Amino acid sequence: MKLDLKNLCLQKSVTPRGIIHVGAYDGKDIKLYQTLDISKVLFIEANPTVFERLKANIATASVNVQAVNYAITNQNGKVKLYVNSMEQSSSIFPLKHYRDIYPNIKETHQLTVESKTLDTLLEELDLSPTDFNILNLDIQGAELLALEGATNLLKYIDAVYTKVNYEELYEGCALAEKIDEFLAQTGFGRVAEAKPFHPSWGDAFYVRKQVVTMSTLGKNGNLGNQIFQYAFLKIYAQENGLSVETPAWVGQELFWHKDREISEDLPVVVENNNEIFPGNGEVWKNVDIQGEFLYHTRYYATHKEYFRSLFQPVAEIEALVKFAWEKLHSRGKTIIGLHLQSHLDENDNSVVAPSEWYKIWLDGLWETLDEPVLFIASDNLEEIPLVYFAEYNPITVRDLEVEVNLEYLNFFLLSKCNFVAISNTPFAFTACLLNETGKYFFRPHFSTAKLIPFEPWNSQPVFRDIDIDEVGKSISSEAQFQQTCAELEITQSQKDELSQKLTSTKSQLQQTQTELENIQSQRDQILGELEQFHSQLQQNQEKAKNAESQLQQTREELEITQSQRDEISQQLTSVQSQLQQNQEKTINAESELQKTRSELEKIKSERDELSQQLTSVQSQLQQNQEKAKNAESKLQNMQTELNKSQSELHETREELEITQFQLDEVQVELEQSQSKLSKNQEQLNTYQSQLQQTKTELEKTKFKLENQEKILPNQNTTNYAAHLKNLAKILAETIPD
């Protein structure tokens, strides 16, 4: 770890009770964790080979520690693990710019490993997320995926220690600002970071912020009220390091606010008479604040840019309202916006200004403007007496024919007008706060019964509790309005007469002024000449005094110079002596320098020789590398041939086994045939013996017959025939088929 986890926890009031370390590698951080007085540690490592070392290193730990072999992402399933030559840099993302920074680190192989989300893993391990309050992530670019899969766990986490990337070191990895954004949405803020090795990556420490909510947002008034309430909530949270939770409200649709939903009911603190929060010194945390927050805008003025940034429309709505503004602006050069209030809300204690006030204001302004166009906005156009303004051909949102939220369209167009006269409402007032191009802003002034100019960022948003009977009763009806118009015409006539008299008087005054200017010019010329004479006289006197002073000064300087010359002469003698000594030293130094140059030339010669040797060695190394590549290529070919030979050997073994089986069958048949042959041989031998015996007897018989032929011819013939018959029988039995 590059940040001091122990001290950071102490500084940020985080009391460690359980740590989940994702990407634990070999588990050597167990030594640190044992010093934090924690009760439980869960180590998670994706690489099976490294996991075995991890188990060995934590075997004797003194805390409750458990280790599991999984990759952690935002989904359950299988993922590819890219294993690198430096195992600690292995990731589920392939290397990208990391190779530019560390070119010696290469991918060695890939593994398919099982992936889990942290929420799923804890559930499967039957571990309670409440046992852990610190999450440590070191998974080389996959940190955001792990966080996305831990939405339930993060509710119980107080601090997150994680690796962050400022460049795409791994292909597709999330950068630091994305992690900042995600953790900010879940209530965390970055409080420390370190880049100890390279500016493109480092470590960051996030701590859960305290929360403030506003459960009444969206229910307490119209869009203008809600803008004031949300702006206060965000500014208050920003000033005091708090996170924000809100219910659903219209700003989420219009301005794409994505604050966390209110997760629990908190103690309610009610803003009373706009006095509790600004500058009271007390910071409210983990509370549900409620109120209107219609403070004097000097409180918000220091946050003007942030205030305005909160209420920029989303792209889709912005395109529509800008199209409506272009249609309105195409009708003229100067756009005058009026916001007229039709009726009082029963819960509102503000007062409504009569429409006649706006008509009188408009009559006095209109002729002074360049191609003016009147735009009238109201919450209820049907109840507005537009007939008062008919001569100015007023435009409303209905005339622009743009399908968008009409309340917001009125609001947006008012925030763009060049001149704006508003009603006594937060809606119209906030439109002026967001208007960056408006020249003048006017509002009802009930004490004088007319519209007066105001500065949006230095005013009270709404006037309240005014007695309506005191606000100009003389112009509360149409008849009174007509009377006022007549009086206005008489006043205009009187003004014209006075204007003519004023023109005549101006002409006489101008003639007198010309004569007076001529007299004044002559007097100025005489005074100028006199002043010039006095000035020259004074200058001559000053020059004389200066000359005397300079002469005296020159004499003094001459004396000082003579004294300095004597001193310099002495110093020159001393310097000459030192110069002679320095010359001797220089001669010695030149001798030493010559000697040093000789040694340097010798060293350069040796260096050149070593450089040549190095070049030779590098050449040999390159040749060896080429030989190694060739050997590796040959080895690869041999491996391919070996694989082919192994395949052929396997096939040959199968054929040999079949042949052996057939040979065994043939051997059995051969043995059977040999047995039969042996038996037949024995029979044949018997028959041959019998045949030999018969032949012997036949010869004996033949011999006897030859000797007895003459004596017993009939008998011998009979015996001879019998012998022949026996011989034929024996031969027939002996000769096989």
Evaluate whether 158 touches 208 at the Cβ level (below 8 Å): yes
The three-state secondary structure class of 74 is: coil
265 and 204 fall within a common domain: no
Residue 733, pLDDT above cutoff 80? no
388-417 pLDDT per residue, tens: 899 999 999 999 999 999 999 999 999 999
- What is the C-alpha to C-alpha distance for residues 480 and 666, in angstroms, rounded to an integer? 135
- Is the residue at 342 inside a domain? yes
Residue 158, pLDDT above cutoff 50? yes
Q: Helix, strand, coil proportions of the chain in percent (round to 5)?
A: 55, 15, 30
- Is the residue at 484 inside a domain? no
447 and 368 fall within a common domain: yes
Print burial letters for 215-227: b (CB count within 10 Å at least 16), e (below 16). bbbbebbbbbbbb
- Is the residue at 449 inside a domain? yes
123 and 70 fall within a common domain: yes
The pair of three-digit structure tokens given for residue 430, joined into one six-digit string: 């906030």
286 and 368 fall within a common domain: no
**Span 324-329, average pLDDT:** 96
Domain stops at, among 180, 208, 236: 208
Residue 73, pLDDT above cutoff 50? yes
- Is the residue at 574 inside a domain? no
What is the number of domains present in the chain? 4
Residue 690, pLDDT above cutoff 90? no
pLDDT at 341: 86
Domain stops at, among 253, 273, 306: 306
23 and 130 fall within a common domain: yes
Least confident of 46-60, 205-219, 557-571, 670-684: 557-571
Q: How many residues does the chain have?
A: 737
- Is the residue at 447 inside a domain? yes
Reported pTM: 0.48
The three-state secondary structure class of 84 is: strand
The pair of three-digit structure tokens given for residue 381, joined into one six-digit string: 């156009």
What's the CATH number where 451 sits? 3.40.50
Structural domain including 425 reads 328-471
- Is the residue at 582 inside a domain? no
522-553 pLDDT per residue, tens: 666 666 665 676 667 677 667 767 766 676 77
CA 114 to chain centre: 27
Evaluate whether 242 touches 211 at the Cβ level (below 8 Å): yes
pLDDT at 476: 42
From the list 392, 397, 309, the residue with the least C-alpha distance to 355 is 392
- Is the residue at 395 inside a domain? yes
**Span 75-81, average pLDDT:** 96
Confidence bin at 467 (pLDDT 50/70/90): very low
93 and 232 fall within a common domain: no
pLDDT at 685: 78
341 and 387 fall within a common domain: yes
- What is the C-alpha to C-alpha distance for residues 370 and 389, in angstroms, rounded to an integer? 18
**Span 565-570, average pLDDT:** 70
**Span 119-148, average pLDDT:** 95
Identity of the amino acid at 415: S
**Span 306-333, average pLDDT:** 96
- Within 8 A by CB and 6+ apart from 554, the residues are none
Residue 274, pLDDT above cutoff 60? no
- What is the C-alpha to C-alpha distance for residues 661 and 209, in angstroms, rounded to an integer? 80
Mean pLDDT score of the chain: 81
Percent of the chain scoring above 90 in pLDDT: 45
409 and 262 fall within a common domain: no
277 and 336 fall within a common domain: no
Confidence bin at 110 (pLDDT 50/70/90): very high
179 and 48 fall within a common domain: yes
pLDDT at 239: 84
Residue 3, pLDDT above cutoff 80? yes
What's the CATH number where 182 sits? 3.40.50.150
379 and 232 fall within a common domain: no
- Is the residue at 291 inside a domain? yes
Residue, of 472 and 443, whose pLDDT is higher: 443
DSSP state of 317: H
Least confident of 219-228, 494-503, 688-697: 494-503
From the list 544, 456, 530, 476, the residue with the least C-alpha distance to 224 is 456
For 199-317, strand residue ranges (E) read: 201-208, 210-213, 242-246, 260-261, 268-270, 287-290
From the list 231, 241, 235, 182, the residue with the least C-alpha distance to 211 is 241
209-232 pLDDT per residue, tens: 788 999 999 999 999 999 999 999
Residue, of 450 and 347, whose pLDDT is higher: 450
Least confident of 315-319, 395-399, 682-686: 682-686
Identity of the amino acid at 715: Q
Domain stops at, among 306, 338, 373: 306
259 and 203 fall within a common domain: no
Residue 328, pLDDT above cutoff 60? yes
